[in-house]
A and B are shown apart, each in its own frame.
Chain A
Amino acid sequence: MALRQTIAIIGASEQYGAALAKALSAGPYRLLLMDPSGNGLAQLQKAIACEVPQADVEQLTCCREASWEADLILFALPFSERNHLINQMQEVVTRKTVVFILEQPQENALNILKQQLPYSGIITIAMYLPASAADSERLGFSDPEARNTATKLLQNIRFNEIIQSVNQ
């Protein structure tokens, strides 16, 4: 049995957060679902359990706790809501990879995030681009290690399907 990577999804009730949670639930991951609103997480967990009975999924109420336990953090909330949550998680995401889902174009997003989390690997994923966009257009990386992490993650997720499912 391979080692399970733990992924915290912050904003798991958001459209992309939920779609990514479902896509990742079949992979070799332990998922920690967190959303500041607390809405819809039980429903999402139930939906995942129906689709993937062997999925390892749990709900957490605290962003810091979820990020502390995780190896990788997927931030699926709107970019404008990041500041206070970054303050909460900053200390526990050192030397971890934090993936930011961008629903809208954000000027200079990668550099802003690198300044806010200087000791973490940062990946940005531009979900607003059409499903046909190449990964090289869609993804931004802070360093080569973050690029490797993203590449491995992408092997287990089909972005086109996620984007299409959210836009349906």
Chain B
Amino acid sequence: MFDLFFTHINQKVNLSEAEQQEVKTFFAPKKLRKRQYLLQEGEPCKYLVFVEKGVLRSYNVDSKGVEHIIHFAMEGWWMGDIYSFLSGDPSGYNIDAIEDAELLMITLDGFEQMMVKVPRMERYFRILFQNNIISKERRLISSISYTAEEKYLRLVESSPELLQRIPLNLVASYLGITPETLSRIRKKLTQKK
């Protein structure tokens, strides 16, 4: 249940067996079925979650009812609306499962207590948040400067597994393009090969 979780953490910081046992006590294991919600817009994001199995997506819905995917999270990734999680304010996102999922969830109280009890986790989250800032900046640059084809090619390069598992209409939403445009890009790239 915690195998991938500790493999992931131990790639960044080395936790002793005692520290791992301590960390476990702060997380609620939770199964989520496909299409079930973890968070709905307007509710505060109570948990930061680690995905042990399955795929989650976060998205918002515009005034025309169109969904815009913000993030995907599959095995070994974290998911949550960090602003809402830290502030307690209502979230502007929805989070649901694209596949049946197994999650490890921590509340803000648990998060703070864990940092005090296992200071190495503070270093782990510092590294995680640093990487998150870089990835968000890259995504921002990609969305304002790259062509649709370049955005798609970057996703193919950075997350090939995601493309195998996620329906193309959701990939299009993540890239900020229509499914028809994505289909044309894929066709063009296939013909080039």
Contacts and interface: CB of A to CB of B under 8 A. Distances in A.
Interface of A: 1-4, 65, 68-69, 71, 91-92, 94-96, 119
Interface in B37-62: 37, 39-40, 43
Contact of A95 (B28, B31, B37, B39): B28
A94 B29 contact: yes
Contact of B40 (A1, A65, A71, A95): A1
A95 B29 CA distance: 8
B20 interface: no
B43 A3 contact: yes
A94 B31 contact: no
Contacts of B33: 69
A2 B43 contact: yes
B1 interface: yes
A3 B26 CA distance: 23
Interface residues of B, number: 20
Contact of B30 (A65, A69, A119): A69
Interface string B15-33: 0000000001111111111
A96 to B, nearest CB: 5
7 contacts: A1-B40, A3-B43, A68-B29, A92-B1, A94-B24, A94-B29, A95-B110
A71 B30 contact: yes
Contacts of A91: 1, 29
A94 B30 CA distance: 10
Nearest to A68: B31
B107 interface: yes
A3 B27 contact: no
Contact of A119 (B25, B31, B106): B25
A1 B61 CA distance: 14
